[in-house]
Each structure stands twice: as C-alpha cells, then as structure tokens.
C-alpha cells in the first residue's frame, strides 16, 4: 500500500511537470496572488507583520487555481480510457485516490513555495511575526488540502476536464462564500447555538482564525474532516463508476 500510492503520486507529479500544466499553473498562481497582495491586499499600506495581505484573499485565488490542478486527475483517465488500465492493476483503489490527492496537494505546496521569498524579504527588511506567518501557511495548506480533495471528488464525477474545472470552480467559490448564518437564524435556536453552528460550517471563520494566529482544534478538525470525507466519497464514486 505505501509503495503503491507513492507510484501513483510520482507518476501524477511527473505528469504535471513534464507537460506545460505545472508551469502555467505555478506562474498563474504566483502572479495572480502577488498582484492581489500588492494591489488589492494593500501590502504597503497595512502593517504586514503577519503577511495578512497575502493570506487574506488566498481561498478565492485557490478556488480559481486548484480546479486547474485537479480537473484532469480523474476526468482525463475516464476520457482517454486509462481508468480501465488503472483499475485492473493490482493496487487498492484507496491508494490510487490517495496518490492522486497527494500529488495535487504537493502541487499546491510548490505554489506556496514560490511565495516564500516574500516571507524572507519581510524578515530581512521589515518587521515580521514569523509565528503568525507560519500559522498563515498552515492555514493555506489546510485550505488547499480541502480544496484539492473536493476538486478530486468533483473530477471523478466528470468525464471532461473543462466541465470538471467549471464545476469545481463553482463549488469552491460557493464554499468560500457560504455563510449559513441567516439559514440557521431561521431555525430559531438560541442565538449562541446559531452563532456556533454557522461559524462552525463557515470556511472564512476557520481560515481567519488560523491566519490571525489562533489555531484551534476546531479549525484543524474542520479542514481534515473535509479532506477525509471528500476522499471517502471519491473512492465510493470510482467504485460505483466501475460497475
């Protein structure tokens, strides 16, 4: 099992880097997110010891970028028919799912690695709260993980990468902006419960907790559960497709 997911991981990662895909995605990501950091996030006009300008809009940027990473993972296998090849290999389905998910997550790590010069630069020239920045990076890594898992799941439903991209984009954007506050308020629980429920299911709440430097178990549980649940559903959906 351990070796087999590594094989899939290696193959998918190489596939990213040997084609044009990785280079296009990586450059698009870094240019887009730095542009937003400097011109929309107000890098210069804010106190940026925690790199808040960089982190604040990341979920939205990732909602655009990650579907491009995950779109072909399953749908292209289905389109070219290689899924039949892959599923008749003597490896458990879960390790295929895991390998593909981890390779897309690794791709996100590469994207974030491109922004680390900014972190170093901040340390060299300006005031920096490194612990806070570290927690910000943990935040985007968790967000990217949950987005990748969702992207993989959606890709497994679609037989064309383009459809997969658009669907993932829609769902991830919804996921970024979903705020169930008013929905829960209609249920007329006590306000404390309403507030708790709505913030618990709100990505922005958890993400802001992390990037402002107050990581809690609830935040980590939120993202990890999304990952586990999506990967579980992903396995189920492929199993279902097989028949």
Partner 1 sequence: MVEQNKERNKMIVAKNLCKNYGRIQAVNNVNFCISKGEIVSLLGPNGAGKTTLMRLLTGYAEPTSGEVSIFGQNLKTQRLSCLKKIGYVPETGFLYPDMSVADFLRYTADLRGISGAEFVENFRNVVENLELKSVINQKIETLSKGFKRRTGIAAALIHNPEVLILDEPTEGLDPNQKFSLRSYLKSYGQDKIIIISTHIMEEVEAMAGRVILLNHGKLVKDTSPQELKELFPEHDIETAFYKITSEVE
Partner 2 sequence: MDKRKYLKIISMAAAVLMAIIFFAGIMSSITLSLSNFKVDFTEWKRHSHASAAQNIFKNTEKPINIILYASNDLDANYPELGLHRQNLIRLLEKIQSYSEGKITYSLKNPEPYTPAEYEAQDLGIRPFPDLENTHNLYFGASFSGGEGKKFVIPYFSVQRQNYLEYDISRILAKLNGAALPPIGIVSFGGDISDWQLIKKIKQDYPLVFIDSKMPIIPQNINTILVFNPQQVNTNFIYALDQYIMRGGNLILLIDPYAEAVAQKYPYTKQNRNLLLPLLQKWGLKMDENTIVADTNLSRPAYQTALSEPENPTYLNLSAQNMQLLPEMGNPWPRLTLHSGGALKIEHPQSNVTYTPLLFTTDQAQTLDADIVKHSSVQDMYNALSEAKSRHNLAYWLEGRFDSAFEQSLVAGTPLAQEFPPFLAQSIKPARVLVIADSDFAADNTWNLTGYQKKATVFDQISSAANADFILSMIDLMSGNQNLADLKIKYLINDEKNIAEQIYAQIFARQEPTYRDIEKQLKDLQKDLNAFQKKLNQKETAMSLLKIQEWDSFNRRQQQLTERLKALNYTIGQESTRQMNRIILLYTLIFPFIMLLSVFIIVNICKHARKQKNLRIINE
Q: Site residues (CB under 8 A) for partner 1?
A: 3-4, 7-8, 10-11, 14-15, 18-19, 80-82, 84-85, 87-92, 242-243
- The reply to whether 181 sits near partner 2 by the rule CB under 8 A is yes
**Out of 121, 174, 177, 242, which residue is the one contacting partner 2 (CB under 8 A)?**
121
Of 56-64, 81-89, 168-176, 230-238: span binding partner 2 (CB under 8 A): 230-238
Nearer to partner 1 by Cβ, of 4 and 199: the residue is: 4
How many angstroms separate the CA atoms of 55 and 53, rounded? 6
Find the shortest distance in angstroms from Cβ 113 to partner 1: 24
How many angstroms separate the CA atoms of 70 and 220, rounded? 22
Q: Tell me phi and psi for residue 126, to 5 degrees.
A: -130, 180
Token pair 């990473």 is found at 69
Q: Tell me phi and psi for residue 91, to 5 degrees.
A: -135, 145
- The reply to whether 199 sits near partner 2 by the rule CB under 8 A is yes
Of 58-66, 90-98, 159-167, 178-186: span binding partner 2 (CB under 8 A): 178-186
C-alpha torsion angle, residues 213, 217, 221, 222 (rounded to 10)? -50
**Contact 179/204 with Cβ under 8 angstroms?**
yes
How many angstroms separate the CA atoms of 227 and 231, rounded? 6
Find the shortest distance in angstroms from Cβ 227 to partner 2: 11
Find the shortest distance in angstroms from Cβ 70 to partner 1: 17
Task: Give the rounded distance of the alpha carbon of 236 from its chain centre.
Answer: 21
**DSSP tag of 70:** H
How many angstroms separate the CA atoms of 15 and 6, rounded? 14
- The reply to whether 240 sits near partner 2 by the rule CB under 8 A is yes
Binding site for partner 2 (CB under 8 A): 17-18, 23, 26-27, 30-31, 34-35, 38, 43-50, 110, 113-115, 117-118, 121, 125-127, 129-132, 134-135, 138, 181-182, 185, 190-192, 195-197, 199-201, 205, 208-210, 212-218, 221-222, 225, 229, 232-233, 236, 240
């Amino acid at each position: 099992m351990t070796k087999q997911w590594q094989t899939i991981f290696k193959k998918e990662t190489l596939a990213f880097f040997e084609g044009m895909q990785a280079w296009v995605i990586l450059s698009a990501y870094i240019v887009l997110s730095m542009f937003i950091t400097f011109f929309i996030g107000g890098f210069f006009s804010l106190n940026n010891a925690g790199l808040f300008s960089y982190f604040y809009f990341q979920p939205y940027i990732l909602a655009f970028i990650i579907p491009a990473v995950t779109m072909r993972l399953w749908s292209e296998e289905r389109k070219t028919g290689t899924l039949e090849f892959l599923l008749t290999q003597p490896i458990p389905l879960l390790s295929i799912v895991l390998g593909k998910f981890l390779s897309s997550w690794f791709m996100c790590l590469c994207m974030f690695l491109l922004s680390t010069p900014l972190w170093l630069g901040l340390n060299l020239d300006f005031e920096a709260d490194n612990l806070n920045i570290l927690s910000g990076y943990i935040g985007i890594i968790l967000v990217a993980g949950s987005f990748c898992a969702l992207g993989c799941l959606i890709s497994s439903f679609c037989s064309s990468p383009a459809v997969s991209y658009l669907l993932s984009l829609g769902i991830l954007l919804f996921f970024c902006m979903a705020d169930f506050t008013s929905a829960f308020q209609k249920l007329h629980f006590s306000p404390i419960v309403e507030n708790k429920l709505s913030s618990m299911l709100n990505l922005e709440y958890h993400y802001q907790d992390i990037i402002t430097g107050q990581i809690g178990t609830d935040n980590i549980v939120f993202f990890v559960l999304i990952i586990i649940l999506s990967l579980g559903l992903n396995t189920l959906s492929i199993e279902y497709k097989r028949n």
